Amino acid sequence: MPNIKANDITIEYEVFGDPSKPALLLVCGLAGQLIDWDERLCQQLVDRGFFVIRYDNRDTGLTQKFDAAGAPDMGAVFAAAASGEPITTPYSLNDMADDGIALLGALGIDKAHLVGASMGGMIVQAMAIRHPAAVLSLCSIMSTTGDPSVGQPTPEAMSALLQPMPTTREEAVEALVVGFKVVASPGYPTDEALVRQRAQRTYERCFYPVGAARQLAAVIAGGDRTAALGAVAVPTVVIHGDADPLVTPSGGEATAKAIPGSELVMVPGLGHDFPEAVWPAVLDAVVSNAGRALG
């Protein structure tokens, strides 16, 4: 896969389809790697008429790491957030949003449809706020506005998120499998052997848990985007599962309420994962929403 210098960092990315078609940028969630956007899903988007770009966010996958920043003190981050004090982080969600827009620019793309999941949803929201001229349409999946009164994880999901960093391959794979079980869709069971296979692939491509911790600190420090989302003027669809334990449904509901004219698609039985059975509904929503931008 190629990489490119953008926003003063080296970003790993991959493209699918005809570059003369409308661009669609896929943005990963916390600790997610570009391989989390399944190649078959990318191809289905190509078949729907898009030029698809997927990439690794900073501090994960094969994109540049911020080793010099060290591990964040998550206790201090949570304490500052609870007290309303400023939170100092190596980078922000806005920086991550600027990365994606800079990647588009480096590829010679002026405007794109944006699709982001979980933290990626937060990032594409920030892209639409900060770079409105570069956005054709917006799709925020299983995400939230940053308002601490909505979208908060269940205690079990929070516990899974804050497990100690694994130190061996076996620990890392097992942690990924156990964590998936906590957030998985009750309406769309996934075979554990497949989950374990994906976890092994994730580990082998990049094992870098301290990067995930820095990303989480950036999410917590990101603040409430509700007011700024009121100025977003591109066609927007918000997709959420009604069984999501990590970003509970009120986060999606608040996002749709904050963005004028947006559509909310609540998927029954969907948790905080992306099972193949829901791809058709998500693709239909993305394509329909993008069509509003072209009409």
Q: What are the structural domains of the chain?
A: 3-294 (3.40.50.1820)
- In whole angstroms, what is the distance from residue 56 CA to residue 194 CA? 22
Coil, helix or strand at residue 82 = helix
Share of the chain above pLDDT 70, in %: 99
* Token reading at 25: 């940028």
pLDDT tens by residue, 61-84: 999 999 999 999 999 998 999 898
Query: Which of 140, 152, 150 is closest to 78 using CA atoms?
Result: 152
Q: How far apart (Å, rounded) are the C-alpha atoms in residues 200 and 185?
A: 21
Please give the average per-residue pLDDT across 147-156, as a whole number.
95
The whole-number average pLDDT for the span 243-268 is 98
What is the 3-state composition of the chain as percent helix, strand, coil, each rounded to the nearest 5?
45, 15, 40
Confidence of residue 289 (pLDDT cuts 50, 70, 90): very high
The token pair at 261 is 């004219």
Q: What is the pLDDT of residue 295?
A: 47
pLDDT single digits (tens) 36-57? 999 999 999 999 999 999 999 9
